[in-house]
């Protein structure tokens, strides 16, 4: 059985998994999506969990990316160091069963700051392979841990992770600001004000407490949007500090969150071009299978 006859591509995260049956022409013919992330799989249960995927999508070879290759997943797949391309990932596949079930390794860097990722590397390389992003440029994958990936010559050159989404969630759910952050976030005037403050170099920690102070003084606004703008704006300011003016940034991920990042980039005189995350993932997996 050859990968060129079709395969199953699996994006297996901590809390969710998505699997796609891809035919010989590269088209998705079936999909499975559920909440059975790696943290919900019982010890010794990954073989059974993989059998569930095959029962739904067919008896095909399977290539998996994401947290299934972490030290909390099926089997730890050692990181590939930067610079990294699809060829390096293909050479370092962690085989559960050779030629039949493999896990794509994550990518790491040790300098200038230690960083790691699992799953985002497939999307970044896939976006470039599919012509959705240029081989030289900046790719951002917003999320709980936002990834900013500098591509050079079609390879992952360097990257930086910022805990932007997680910090917002902690502030919303577990901080003194919880009551002020209950509303939905939108790219409204309050969001723009938060972005502007961040891009202008505002003190992030003091500005966050200012949300509480304004509420106590009766001068509150759309505080969830402001806080989001402040955090995303700080993320953007740091990410573009050493980049060329006017650069277009490829945004890969959930459309709503990418739209917020695109709005923040617009305030920084950059263009954020939104790319479908599934399309990038599937293109990345396909490129790797071509090298197996």
Q: What is the pLDDT of residue 1?
A: 61
> In the predicted model, what is the mean pLDDT of the chain?
96
pLDDT in tens, 194-248: 999 999 999 999 999 999 999 999 876 679 999 999 999 999 999 999 999 999 9
At residue 112 the predicted structure's pLDDT band, cuts being 50, 70 and 90, is: confident
Q: What is the pLDDT of residue 219?
A: 78
Q: pLDDT higher for 222 or 111?
A: 111
At residue 135 the predicted structure's pLDDT band, cuts being 50, 70 and 90, is: very high
**Residue written as token pair 């790491």:** 108
Backbone angles phi, psi at 76, to 5 degrees: -75, 125
pLDDT in tens, 8-55: 999 999 999 999 999 999 999 999 999 999 999 999 999 999 999 999
Domain boundaries, the chain: 3-118, 162-276
CA gap 235, 146 in Å, rounded: 8
pTM here is: 0.95
CATH 3.30.420.310 fits 162-276, yes or no: yes
Task: Quote the percentage of the chain above a pLDDT of 90.
Answer: 96
CA gap 228, 195 in Å, rounded: 8
pLDDT in tens, 169-185: 999 999 999 999 999 99
Equal CATH topology for 3-118 and 162-276: yes
What's the whole-number mean pLDDT along residues 101-116?
96
Q: Cβ(134)–Cβ(198) under 8 Å? A: no
Tell me which of 3.30.420.300, 3.90.79.10, 3.40.50.150, 3.40.50.970 is the CATH number of domain 3-118. Answer: 3.30.420.300
CA gap 114, 109 in Å, rounded: 6
Q: Cβ(109)–Cβ(82) under 8 Å? A: yes
């Amino acid at each position: 059985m050859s990968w060129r006859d079709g395969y199953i591509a699996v994006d297996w995260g901590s809390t969710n998994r998505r699997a796609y049956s891809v035919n010989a022409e590269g088209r998705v013919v079936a999909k499975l999506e559920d909440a059975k992330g790696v943290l919900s799989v019982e010890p010794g249960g990954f073989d059974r969990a993989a059998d569930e995927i095959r029962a739904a999508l067919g008896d095909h070879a399977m290539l998996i990316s994401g947290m299934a290759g972490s030290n909390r997943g099926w089997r730890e797949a050692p990181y590939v160091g930067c610079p990294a391309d699809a060829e390096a990932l293909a050479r370092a596949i962690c085989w559960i069963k050779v030629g039949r079930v493999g896990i794509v390794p994550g990518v790491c860097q040790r300098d200038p700051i230690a960083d790691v990722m699992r799953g985002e590397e497939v999307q970044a390389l896939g976006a470039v392979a599919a012509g959705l992003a240029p081989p030289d440029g900046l790719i951002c994958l917003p999320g709980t841990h936002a990834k900013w990936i500098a591509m050079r010559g079609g390879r992952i050159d360097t990257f930086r992770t910022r805990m932007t989404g997680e910090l917002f969630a902690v502030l919303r759910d577990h901080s003194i600001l919880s009551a002020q952050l209950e509303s939905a976030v939108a790219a409204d005037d309050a969001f723009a004000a938060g972005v502007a403050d961040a891009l202008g170099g505002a003190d992030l920690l003091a500005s966050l407490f200012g949300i509480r102070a304004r509420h106590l003084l009766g001068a509150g606004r759309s505080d969830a949007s402001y806080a989001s703008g402040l955090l995303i704006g700080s993320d953007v300011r740091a990410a573009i500090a050493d980049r060329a003016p006017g650069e277009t940034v490829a945004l890969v991920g959930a459309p709503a969150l990418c739209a917020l990042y695109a709005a923040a980039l617009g305030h920084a005189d950059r263009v954020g071009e939104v790319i479908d995350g599934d399309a990038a993932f599937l293109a990345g997996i396909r490129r790797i299978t071509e090298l197996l």
